[in-house]
């Protein structure tokens, strides 16, 4: 009996170092090195790219276990940019994003499953106040040590139907078809980093000596 107890204790001790290797990090999305973009078919024959210039987000993950990945993002819908100011103003109008009443797009992941070499991240996206579940196909995240912390690179893509969110505007073309397709492809290139260490507090300047009377 004593031998069994000692053997069990030894196995537990051996397992402890492995458990301690797990380290879940919370990283902040760097908007200067990231892109939140989309592609939508236009006039049947071409696809128009666009992006949002203002967004924030976090990535929570154990670098050794992508299944622990959690993604959260907030997009400023007013920052939409397709390279055409007139078109951008139309996209901001009630015909599309209605940014005056719905200035923010959000995404919050709920679960992660392995899919071949990649990962399916299922979560809720909210557009125009309507929340729907979508799946993002995410490549295995890449990590490196830099800038005094950990950097992560994440590539993801997905697809939504804009009509699911009440974005119904369209126009029929004379030769057949419509101006804008219902399906919208999502393309994400994200760089995130652990919070940078705060600068060491500077020592307080010595107080001037009081002149002796």
Structural domain including 42 reads 22-193
User: How far, in Å, CA of 104 to CA of 90, rounded?
Assistant: 17
Close Cβ partners of 191 (under 8 Å, ≥ 6 residues apart): 29, 30, 33, 34, 151, 152, 153, 154
User: How far, in Å, CA of 158 to CA of 104, rounded?
Assistant: 19
CB 23 within 8 A of CB 56: no
Residue 106 in any domain: the answer is yes
CATH number of the CATH domain containing 151 = 2.40.128.110
Residue 34 in any domain: the answer is yes
Residue 213 in any domain: the answer is no
Residue 200 in any domain: the answer is no
In the chain (213 residues long), the average pLDDT of successive 10-residue segments reads 38 39 87 96 79 98 96 98 96 96 98 97 98 98 90 97 92 70 95 72 51 47
User: How far, in Å, CA of 193 to CA of 196, rounded?
Assistant: 8
Residue 199 in any domain: the answer is no
Residue 43: how many other CB atoms lie within 10 Å: 15
Alpha carbon distances (Å) from 88 to 5, 97, 158, 185: 70, 10, 22, 18
Mind listing the pLDDT tens digit for each residue in 19-30? Answer: 334 689 999 999
In terms of Cβ atoms closer than 10 Å to its own Cβ (0-12, 13-18, 19+), residue 121 is buried
Mind listing the pLDDT tens digit for each residue in 77-115? Answer: 999 999 999 999 999 999 999 999 999 999 999 999 999
**pLDDT computed for residue 46 by the predictor:** 76
pTM: 0.79
Instruction: Name the domain count of the chain.
Output: 1
**pLDDT computed for residue 125 by the predictor:** 98
């Amino acid at each position: 009996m004593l031998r069994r107890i000692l053997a069990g204790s030894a196995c537990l001790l051996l397992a402890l170092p492995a458990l301690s290797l797990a380290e879940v990090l919370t990283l902040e999305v760097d908007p200067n090195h990231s892109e939140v973009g989309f592609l939508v078919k236009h006039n049947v024959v071409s696809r128009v790219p666009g992006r949002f210039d203002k967004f924030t987000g976090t990535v929570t993950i154990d670098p050794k276990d992508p299944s622990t990945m959690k993604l959260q993002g907030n997009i400023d819908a007013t920052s939409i940019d397709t390279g055409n100011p007139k078109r951008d103003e139309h996209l901001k109008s009630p015909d599309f994003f209605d940014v005056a009443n719905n200035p923010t797009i959000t995404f919050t992941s709920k679960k992660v499953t392995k899919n071949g070499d990649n990962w399916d991240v299922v979560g809720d996206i909210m557009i125009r106040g309507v929340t729907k579940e979508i799946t993002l196909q995410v490549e295995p995240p890449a990590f490196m040590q830099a800038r005094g912390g950990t950097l992560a690179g994440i590539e993801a893509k997905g697809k939504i139907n804009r009509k699911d969110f009440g974005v119904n505007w369209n126009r029929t073309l004379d030769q057949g078809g419509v101006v804008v397709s219902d399906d919208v492809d999502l393309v994400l290139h994200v760089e995130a980093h652990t919070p940078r260490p705060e600068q060491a507090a500077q020592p307080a300047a010595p107080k001037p000596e009081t002149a002796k009377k």
